[in-house]
Amino acid sequence: MKKHVILLAGGKGTRMNASVNKILLDLCGKPVVQRSAEAFSSIADDMIIVCREADQPVIENILNCSSFPFPVLFTSGGKTRQESVLNGLRVLSAENDDIILIHDAARCLVDPDLINRIIESVLACGTGIPGIPATSTFKICNDEHFVTHTPDRSSLYEIQTPQGFTAGMFIPAALKAAEDGFNCTDDAGILEHYNIPVHIVPGSSQNIKLTEPEDMSRASSILKGDAAGMRIGMGYDVHRLTDGRKLILCGVEVPYSQGLLGHSDADVALHALMDAMFGACALGDIGKHFPDTSDQYKDISSVFLLKETNRIIGEAGYSVSNTDITIVAQKPKLLPFIPQMAEVVANTLNIPLGDVNIKATTTEKLGFEGRMEGISAYAVCTVVGR
C-alpha cells in the first residue's frame, strides 16, 4: 500500500493582492509551497504537484532546496479544482488499496499528526477528511437574502485538507463525476454525490488556508509561536536634488526636472528601507554593506541593492513581514506613482502587496524639502525569524 499526494498549487493570488501565485510567497524564510510539500516528506511515497505551466520551473527550483525521499512529478492545472485533481490522478499509478491525499498548497501549516489522522481514517473507513466544529451560527438564505433556515451548528464542520481516500474508491467516482458533468467545491463532495460515506476526523485550528494578506500575518505568528521573534527597524535617508539626474523613488522613475544626487541611483526611499531592514536584524547599515567609496556601486539600481539586502537578512535568518515608507517632498506630486512603487517593493521582497505601505507628504514649504533642495524618506519595517 502506497500513499500518493496530489498537491494543488495552481492559484493566482488575486485576493492576496500578490503579483505572483500566493504559494510562491515567502513565509518566515521559506516559500509557502515548500512548507506544504515538506509536511509530507516523511509520509508520502510520491507527490504530484498540479500547477500552472509558468510556475513549474519556479516551484522546481524552490523544491531543489529540499531533499525528498520520493519522486516529485508535475502536471498542469485545469480550469476548476476538480479538473486539476483529475489531471493529478491521471499521472498516478495506484493500486486499489493505495491512499490518495489531496491537499491545497495554500494550507502550508498542516502538520504530520493531522496527516496521520487522515491516513488512519482511510485505513479504517476508506475516507478521511479534517473538520473543525462550527462555533458560529449559520443562516441559509434565498436569492432575496431572506433567511429560510438556521441549521443546527452542532452538526456543522469547517472542512480542511488534506482529504484522503482509497484509490479504488475515489478514482472511479472522480472519473464518473467528470463524465456526468458534476462539479463540487471539495473532493469529498464527489463521494457524497454518489452516496458514498465520508468520515470526518478532527482538523487543526492552525491548518489555515492562505487567501488574503492578513492570513500571511496570522500564519507567521503561528510559526513563531508568539510575537517574541518579531523585530522592528527604522531607516532614514536624504539626498540633494540636482540637475541632470533622473528622479528614482522606490524603483520608479518619476518625471521631474531634477533628480537626486548620489553614488548609486540615489533612491532615497529604498535606501531608508534598506537601513530599516539592516537595523531590525542588527546588521549595521547600508553604508557598511554597499559603501559609496566602491566603484562597484556607482550608479547602481537601488532595486538591485534591495534584493541583495533581502538576501543578506535571509542568510541571517530573517524575512520582512511588512514595511511602511514615508517620502517627504514638496514637489513633484507622488500620489499617482505610489501603486507602482508598492508593487516594486513587494515584488523585490517577495511579500504580499498588502504588506507594503508607501505614502508621500510635504513640509508645507518648511526646511530643505520645502525649499525643494532635496528629498528625504523614513521607513519602518518588521522582520521575523525563521
SS3 string, 84-123, reads HHHHHHHHCCCCCCCEEEEEECCCCCCCHHHHHHHHHHHH
Using the structure block, give the residue that is written with the C-alpha cell 525649499. 371
207 & 314 share domain: no
298 & 202 share domain: no
Quote the number of domains for the chain. Answer: 2
Q: What is the pTM of this model?
A: 0.62
Whether 45 maps to a domain, the answer reads yes
The confidence score (pLDDT) of residue 19 equals 75
Q: Measure the N-to-C terminal CA separation of the chain; round to a whole number of Å.
A: 36
Separation of alpha carbons 47 and 106, rounded Å: 16
The confidence score (pLDDT) of residue 316 equals 82
Share of the chain above pLDDT 70, in %: 97
Please determine, for residue 297, whether its predicted confidence score (pLDDT) is greater than 70.
Answer: yes
Q: Which residue among 201, 224, 247 closes a domain?
A: 224
Whether 146 maps to a domain, the answer reads no
- Lowest mean pLDDT: which of 64-68, 98-102, 225-229, 327-331? 225-229
* Average confidence (pLDDT) over 280-305: 90
Q: What is the pLDDT of residues 92-116, one digit of tens each?
A: 989 999 999 999 999 999 988 899 9
| Phi, then psi, of 259 in degrees rounded to 5 | -130, -175
Q: What is the pLDDT of residues 303-333, one digit of tens each?
A: 999 999 998 988 887 888 899 999 999 999 9
Please determine, for residue 87, whether its predicted confidence score (pLDDT) is greater than 90.
Answer: yes
Domain that holds residue 117: 3-130+160-224
Q: What's the pLDDT band for 162 if we cut at 50, 70, 90?
A: very high
The confidence score (pLDDT) of residue 226 equals 46
Helix (H, G, I), strand (E, B) or coil at 241: strand
The total of other beta-carbon atoms located within 10 Å of residue 174's CB is: 21
191 & 273 share domain: no
* Average confidence (pLDDT) over 34-48: 94
The CATH number given to whatever domain includes residue 179 is: 3.90.550.10
Q: What value, to the nearest 5°, has the Cα angle with vertex 187 and ends 48 and 154?
A: 135
Whether 168 maps to a domain, the answer reads yes
Q: What's the pLDDT band for 13 if we cut at 50, 70, 90?
A: low
Whether 72 maps to a domain, the answer reads yes
The confidence score (pLDDT) of residue 386 equals 52
266 & 182 share domain: no
Whether 139 maps to a domain, the answer reads no
Whether 215 maps to a domain, the answer reads yes
Share of the chain above pLDDT 90, in %: 71
Q: Which residue among 203, 224, 245 closes a domain?
A: 224
Q: Which residue among 187, 208, 224 closes a domain?
A: 224
Q: What's the pLDDT band for 229 if we cut at 50, 70, 90?
A: low
235 & 220 share domain: no
217 & 231 share domain: no
| Phi, then psi, of 353 in degrees rounded to 5 | -60, -30
Q: What's the pLDDT band for 21 if we cut at 50, 70, 90?
A: confident
Helix (H, G, I), strand (E, B) or coil at 73: strand
* CA–CA distances in Å: residue 152 to residues 140, 148, 160, 197, 198: 11, 13, 20, 20, 20
251 & 360 share domain: yes
328 & 214 share domain: no
Whether 75 maps to a domain, the answer reads yes
216 & 340 share domain: no
192 & 286 share domain: no
Using the structure block, give the residue that is written with the C-alpha cell 553604508. 287
DSSP 53: T
* Average confidence (pLDDT) over 358-373: 94
The CATH number given to whatever domain includes residue 252 is: 3.30.1330.50
Q: Average per-residue pLDDT in the chain?
A: 91
Q: What is the pLDDT of residues 129-155, one digit of tens each?
A: 999 888 778 899 999 999 999 998 888
197 & 324 share domain: no
Whether 323 maps to a domain, the answer reads yes
Q: If you average pLDDT over each of 6-20, 224-238, 290-304, 327-341, which comes out highest?
A: 327-341
Separation of alpha carbons 354 and 359, rounded Å: 14
The confidence score (pLDDT) of residue 227 equals 46
320 & 380 share domain: yes
